[in-house]
Amino acid sequence: MYGKIKKRSGIVRIAFLLMILLLLTGCWNNRDLTEINIVAGIGLDRTEDGKVLLTVQVVEPAAIQTVSSGKGKGGGAQPKPVFVESFEGETVFEAIRGILSIVDKRLFFSTAQVLILGERLLQKGMVEVLDFFQRENDINYGMNILVAKGVTPGEILEIENDMDSIPAVYIKETAENTVSRGTVKKTTLIDLIKDIDSGERQPAIGQITKAGDKEIRTEGVAVIKDEKLAGWLDPYETRGYMFAIGEVKSAIVNIPVDKGKIAMEIIRSKGKAKVRFENGEPSTLTIKVEVEANVGAYEGRGRLDSQDDLSILKEILKNEIKKEITQALEKAQKEYSSDIFGFGSYVHKYHPEYWKKVKKDWNDIFSKLPADIQVDVKVMRTGIIKSPVKKDE
Amino acid sequence: MFGYILKKIRYSALKRKNMSHDTATDKNYNEPLLPDLEKNLDVIKSILRDSSDVTVHEFNFGHDRRYKGALVFIDNMVDKEEIHKNILKPLMYDVLLLKKDVDMDFTKIDIIRKNLISVMDSQKVTLLADLLDSLLTGTTILLVDGSKEALAVNLRKWEARSIEEPGTEAVVRGPREGFNENANVSIALIRRKIKDPDLCIEKLKIGMRTKTDVYIVYLKSVANPKLIEEIRNRIGRIKIDAILESGYIEQFIEDAPYSIFPTVSNSEKPDKVVAKILEGRAAIVVDGTPFVLIVPMLFIESFQSGEDYYARPFLASIMRIIRFLSFIISTLGPAFYVALTVFHQELIPTQLLISIAAGRERVPFPAILEAGLMLFTFDVLREAGVRLPKPVGQTIGIVGALVLGQASVEAGLISPIMVIVVSSTAIASFAVPAQTDSGTILRYIYLGLAGIAGGFGVIMGLLATLLHLSSLRSFGVPYLWPVVPFNLSGIKDVFIRMPVWTMQKRPSVIIWDNIDSIRQSPGLMPSPYKEDKDDSK
């Protein structure tokens, strides 16, 4: 009998412990799908008088369904798949709460595909604004960040076109296409927060512009220095930058040869940014890039399969890539003095003592260092034909 | 302490009730038969209260018809033709073939039995109670005037179902025969598969009014003697008026009566039962039902099918994994859907979230209520489908699929994704028939937890289930064996089914300390003929 009582108190104890666990839940707010507004894109900017301007693009699921299933074509206006609302506030949080005064349901931010920052916001610094995005539990850290050049985020989010019923998805997918071409950098929220926090690398954020009424274009990057916009890199410089940090996955590099133009397809690329040290002081910035390329298209005549041809090809491609990297590096050093390549993180990793001393002034030191750029090119294949249709006479 | 007092009070109340119960119903007929035929018949008639199906046939026999006898039997339970051929005819006519001067005292039952009756299965009875017992089970009673004994001749015959394919455990490959309501047939089916003198069949009679035959069937040299002793004890303590199905026995002998998980398994198929007997388990055959109980039961048995062992191991292994997945889907499907759509929308890919949201846009209920309603509807449909006669049952399917499925979606009462979730849950729940009741209950519990606390609640529920499962025992055997406690040789037959020639040992947990655990010789893996192989090996 005694044993039985003891056993029962054991069960009670376990049940009690399980009950305590219920108190440990952080955020268990129950919200039904019909009670939330699914946010697809967020835009952040400042107004002229310094207030935060929040723009959200919210999905109307029912409208999406009618658009995709083709129902309701009989008459009346097609319901719009998304709506865009803006609100001003002293802080981001105030704007987010305030926007509830004009929309019907709570905003749900986890689904946001893109966060578009305005130029004016970047000119004044973005750290205060980003703080909210770090604190809030609803935010997806993997969301893409883009900077709007020449337009406000609101204008970009209001673009509608037929390619995708949700414009934010269209923006995200376009940006991802460009990333694989190497002319825009993909920056996620967590990357940006990490870069700003560590100070080892200055962030470079992809750039987005309006191209006509219905399209956007994502090419180039915005260079940030000390949380403020320092300037822009054009698509070619961006590709040089992407080669240097090893993020080019597939890109087309056109090279001129005497027989015509050749489009080289980059199929694999590795890049490493290091700093060479002499006597405890940095002496040179080294960038080492390894590239594997195929011949994609050849606008000339004659065969391409001889070793000589290929070695010439390699040399030209090497110089072309080197030129792009040099341009990007020079711009980052001379014009913006912003270490977007992440040399700082190499210094921090291998020369921590030195890094501690110069952490504050690293961008200045960086901009004065000479650079050594090495590009190693391999041409793998020339396509499935050996020579073009038009033969050399 | 309080619990102790309560228990004591309850116990004594029960005891008092039990005692009064005993005196009221259990009349004792422990008196000997009288040498007077008339008186005996009067007593029997008065006890049976002149029931219309009790037939009493009085006759005279012997050379000069000086002996008086009577046959008592129950109509429709005996073979009248056989009675005529083997009892009446010998007594009345064949006796005339004996020489007149042969001196035989036909008031002695033994002499009648040995000289005249041509039936093998007959027994002497001296007590009124035994006589009634035999009579009521369908034996024919021969009473002779002047004898204090009676003869019980077994010439039973009644209408019974023949051996058919069982409805519950259909197989594609494997024997089709199933047990039937006659326990003797069931026992014979088992005996026909195991031709081993070790096969023991113990007979018990349970049920004060039904006097149902209950048989414990096991292999003496394989089964753990402690297990058999325990089964005997547990069945022996059943004091009940009626055993109508093996489920009665199951509920009296199971280890965890308040658990939703069964700790006694059952089957209608002789091959399955025999396989389990050969592993060291014991089967409990109950007269009047084709369902044979098998103890001890492991959780894993719910996911095994007899066919797993007849088919080649590859598909069998995949099917077993599919059964596990189905059990998970059938218990957790709606719960996960509710947890994800109500609490953790960020875990759903955005595109999917949008289409789920689009489907739910017009639904006026919260997700938990929606899921609960659909599950309830499904269970109603299932129950109605089982109970109704077959032609009407099809109507239920049409009404369920069209009216409830499609119309409720079109009316905007239920979201289309919920229909998909619930119907896949429903389909999955049929893949593991042995755990249907636990699965159904768990489904609602998890759904409730998901509605209250989302994924956290579901995980808590899962943990509690796991704790409970690992605490269960079935006749001393850990329910989750061989996973918990882990056993390498047993695990060969859990998630995948290894080839038969690799499973050399019987499940060690069931035979326990028995030495005879090897069931096949090692090295039986088939291979092509090899020239240099040593034959003497």
Nearest chain A residue to B455 by CA distance is: A28
Residue A391 placed within a domain: no
Contact with chain B for residue A166, Cβ under 8 A: yes
DSSP alpha helix (H) spans, A266-342: 307-330
Test B345 with A111 for CB contact under 8 angstroms: yes
pLDDT tens digits along A271-298: 888 899 888 888 899 999 999 988 888 7
User: Is A392 part of a structural domain of the chain?
Assistant: no
Total domains present in chain A: 2
Which of A8, A21, A32 is the best substitution to test chain B (most B C-beta atoms within 10 A)? Answer: A32
Contact by Cβ (8 Å): B481, B298: yes
What is the rounded CA–CA span in Å between residue B442 and residue B427? 16
Rounded to the nearest angstrom, the minimum Cα separation between B468 and chain A is 11
**pLDDT tens digit string along A86-123?**
999 888 888 888 888 888 888 888 888 899 999 988 88
Chain B residues within an 8 Å CB radius of A166: 354
User: Among the ranges A230-239, A308-317, B128-137, B330-339, which has the highest mean pLDDT value?
Assistant: B330-339
For residue A194, tell me if it sits in a domain. Answer: yes
Instruction: Count structural domains, chain B.
Output: 3
A230 to A200, A202, A241, B323, B512: CA distances (angstroms): 17, 10, 16, 61, 78
State whether residue B361 is helix, strand or coil. Answer: coil
Q: Among B135, B102, B136, which residue's Cα sits nearest to residue B116?
A: B102
- Disruptive mutation site among B354, B418, B465 for chain A (greatest number of A CBs within 10 Å): B354
Residue A362: CATH number of its domain: 3.30.300.210
What are the residues facing B233 on neighbouring strands?
A: none
Is residue A186 included in any domain, yes or no? yes
Long-range pairs for B104-107: beta carbons < 8 A, 24 or more residues apart: B106/B61, B106/B62, B106/B67, B106/B144, B107/B67, B107/B144, B107/B145, B107/B146, B107/B147
**Domain match, B471 and B326 both:** yes
- Which of A22, A25, A33 lies at the smallest CB-CB distance from B341? A33
Q: What is the mean pLDDT of residues A381-389?
A: 73
Q: Tokens 């929308």 correspond to what residue?
A: B345
Q: Do A172 and A252 lie in a common domain?
A: no
Query: Do residues B268 and B290 touch, judged by C-beta distance below 8 A?
Result: yes
In a domain, A8, yes or no: yes
Q: What one-letter code names the amino acid at B176?
A: R
A295 in the same domain as A222: no
Q: Is B293 found in the same domain as B241?
A: yes
Same domain for B344 and B473, yes or no, is: yes
Contacts of A62 in chain B (CB under 8 A): 358, 361-362
Give burial (CB, 10 Å; 0-12/13-18/19+) of A10. Answer: exposed
Query: For residues A60 and A1, what is the distance between their CA atoms, to the nearest angstrom?
Result: 64
Chain B CA closest to residue A109: B346
Predicted local confidence at residue A22, as pLDDT: 64
Whether B263 is in a domain gets the answer yes
B211: left (phi over 0), alpha (psi -120 to 50) or beta: left
Secondary element (H or E) of residue B73: strand B67-74
Domain shared by A70 and A206, yes or no: yes
Q: Between residues 267 and 306 of chain A, which touch chain B (CB distance below 8 Å)?
A: none
Q: Which residues 6+ apart lie within 8 Å of B355 measured at CB? A: A61, A64, A65, B417
Per-residue pLDDT of chain B (537 residues; tens, 9 = 90+): 566 777 777 777 776 666 544 444 446 678 888 888 888 898 888 888 878 888 899 999 888 888 899 999 998 889 989 899 988 888 888 888 887 777 778 888 888 888 888 888 888 888 888 888 888 888 999 999 888 889 999 888 888 888 989 888 888 889 999 999 999 999 999 999 999 999 999 999 999 889 999 999 999 888 888 999 999 999 999 999 999 999 999 999 999 999 999 999 999 999 999 999 998 899 999 999 999 999 999 999 999 988 899 999 999 999 999 999 999 999 999 999 999 998 888 888 888 888 888 888 888 888 889 999 889 988 888 888 888 887 777 787 788 777 777 888 888 888 889 989 998 999 999 888 888 889 999 999 999 999 888 888 899 999 999 999 999 999 989 999 889 889 888 888 899 899 988 888 888 888 766 566 778 888 888 888 877 655 554
Q: Is residue A40 part of a domain?
A: yes
**For residue B233, what pLDDT is reported?**
94
Which residues on A lie below 8 Å from B454 (Cβ)?
28, 30
**Residue in B113, B89, B92, B115 with CA at minimum distance from that of residue B103:** B115
Q: Residue A178: is its pLDDT beyond 90? A: no
Least CA distance to B364: which residue of chain A? A34
Which residues of chain A make contact with B367, given a CB cutoff of 8 A? 32-33
Q: Is A17 on the interface with B (CB under 8 A)?
A: no
Instruction: Round to whole Å and give the CA distance between B19 and B24.
Output: 9
Same domain, A298 and A149: no
Which residues does residue A178 pair with via DSSP β-bridges, in sequence order?
Answer: none
A248 and A229 part of one domain: no
Q: Residue A66 has what pLDDT?
A: 64
Query: Could B355 and A138 be called an inter-chain contact, meaning their C-beta atoms sit closer than 8 Å?
Result: no
Determine, for residues A62 and B361 on separate chains, whether the beta-carbon distance falls below 8 Å: yes
Do B453 and B332 fall within a single domain? yes
CA dihedral B116, B117, B119, B125 (to 10 degrees): -130
> Across the interface, do A18 and B356 touch by the CB < 8 Å criterion?
no
Q: Look at residue A75 in the predicted model and tell me its pLDDT.
A: 46
Contact B343 A30 (CB under 8 A): yes
Which chain B residue has the Cα nearest residue A21? Answer: B460
Distance CA A129, CA B320 (A): 54
Q: Measured between CA atoms, how close is A55 to chain B, in angstroms? A: 19
Q: Tell me, yes or no, whether A229 and A254 share the same domain.
A: no
All residues of chain A having their beta carbon less than 8 Å from the beta carbon of residue B3 are 5, 8
DSSP B531: T
B334 and B469 inside one domain: yes
Q: Does residue B465 share a domain with residue B329? A: yes
Task: Please indicate if any CB of chain B lies within 8 Å of the CB of A177.
Answer: no
Helix (H) or strand (E) holding B54: strand B54-61
Q: Do B356 and A33 touch (CB under 8 A)?
A: yes
Task: Give me the pLDDT at residue A390, please.
Answer: 64
Cβ atoms of residues B72 and B56 within 8 Å: yes
Rounded to 10 degrees, the C-alpha dihedral B518/B523/B529/B534 comes to -100
Q: Which of A201, A233, A265 is the last residue of a domain?
A: A233
pLDDT tens digits for range A25-71: 545 567 778 888 889 999 999 888 888 899 999 988 877 766 555 54
Cβ contact B345–A5 (<8 Å): no
**What's residue B413's pLDDT?**
87
Same domain, B349 and B284: no
Side-chain half-sphere of A38: how many Cα atoms within 13 Å?
A: 32
Going by the DSSP 8-state scheme, the letter that residue A80 receives in this structure is P
How big is the A-B interface in CB pairs under 8 Å?
81
- Nearest CA to CA, how far is A252 from chain B (Å)? 31
Residue B245 maps to a domain: yes
Within 8 A by CB and 6+ apart from A173, the residues are A164
**Contact list, A32 vs chain B (CB under 8 Å):** 341-342, 360, 366-367
Q: Are residues A289 and A327 in the same domain?
A: yes
Q: What is the pLDDT of residue B10?
A: 76
More confident residue, A124 or B186: B186
Strand partners, A292: A268, A378
Say which amino acid occupies B366: P
Region A192-213: what's the mean pLDDT? 87
Q: Is residue B260 part of a domain?
A: yes
Distance CA B329, CA B446 (A): 12
Distance CA A170, CA A148 (A): 15
- The answer to whether residue B269 is domain-embedded is yes
Question: b or e along A306-320 (b: 16 or more beta carbons within 10 Å of the residue's beta carbon)?
Answer: eeebeeebbebbbeb
Separation in Å, CA of B350 to nearest CA in chain A: 6
What is the secondary structure of B214-250 as a DSSP string?
EEEEEETTTS-HHHHHHHHHHHHT---S---SHHHHH
Domain boundary among A233, A263, A278: A233
Q: Are residues A201 and A253 in the same domain?
A: no
Q: Which residue of A has its CA nearest to B366?
A: A32
Name B120's Cβ contacts closer than 8 Å, sequence gap at least 6: none
Cα distance between residue A343 and residue A358, in whole Å = 13
Residue B154 forms beta bridges with which residues? Answer: none
**Amino acid at residue number B101:** D
What are the beta bridge partners of residue B350? Answer: none
ipTM: 0.76
Q: Which residue reads 């507004």 in tokens? A: A37
> Domain span at residue A296?
240-381
Please, are residues B107 and B8 in contact by the beta-carbon 8 Å criterion?
Answer: no
User: Cβ of B350 and A61 within 8 Å?
Assistant: no
Q: Is there a single domain that holds both residue A222 and residue A267?
A: no
Do the domain assignments include residue B511? Answer: no
Same domain, residue pair B271 and B342: no
Shortest Cα distance from A109 to chain B (angstroms)? 9
- DSSP character string of B274-340: HHHHHTT-EEEEETT-SPEEEES--GGGGG--HHHHHS-HHHHHHHHHHHHHHHHHHHHHHHHHHHH
Residue B504 within a domain: no
Secondary structure E strands in chain A: 36-46, 52-59, 82-89, 106-108, 114-117, 144-148, 187-188, 204-211, 215-217, 221-225, 228-233, 251-257, 260-278, 281-298, 371-379
Task: Look at residues B477, B500, B521 and tell me which one is the last residue of a structural domain.
Answer: B477
Minimum-distance CB partner of B353 among A14, A18, A111? A111
Residue B528: inside a domain: no
Pairing mode of beta strands A215-217, A221-225: unpaired
Residues A227 and A354 in one domain: no
Alpha helix (H) residue ranges in A102-165 = 119-123, 127-135, 153-157
Asked if residue A53 lies in contact with residue A96, where contact means CB atoms within 8 angstroms, the answer is no
Predicted pLDDT at A282: 87
Same domain, A318 and A183: no
| A61 → closest Cβ in B4, B346, B361 | B361
Amino acid at B59: F
Same domain, B328 and B456: yes
Name the amino acid, one letter, at B381. Answer: L
Among residues 64-103 of chain A, which lie with CB inside 8 Å of chain B?
Answer: 64-65
Within an 8 Å CB–CB cutoff, is residue A19 touching chain B? no
Q: Kindly state whether A104 is in contact with chain B, defined as any CB-CB distance less than 8 angstroms.
A: no
Whether the Cβ atoms of residue B330 and residue B443 lie closer than 8 Å to each other: yes
Q: Is B347 domain-assigned?
A: yes
Please name the amino acid found at residue B466.
L
Q: Which of B2, B6, B340, B345 would you mutate first to test chain A, the one with the most A CBs within 10 A?
A: B345
- Answer yes or no: do B355 and A65 touch at CB < 8 A: yes
Q: Which domain holds residue B270?
A: 183-297
Mean pLDDT on A136-164: 86
Q: Chain B residue closest to A17 (CA)?
A: B460
* Last residue of one domain, picked from the residues A176, A199, A233: A233
Residue A135 shares a structural domain with residue A178: yes
CA nearest to A39 within chain B: B350
pLDDT of residue A392: 56
Rounded to a whole number, what is the largest CA-CA distance in chain A? 107
Q: Which of A1, A12, A22, A33 to mutate to test the interface with B (most CBs of B within 10 A)?
A: A33
Q: Which amino acid is residue B221, in one-letter code? A: S
Which residues on B lie below 8 Å from A168 (Cβ)? Answer: none
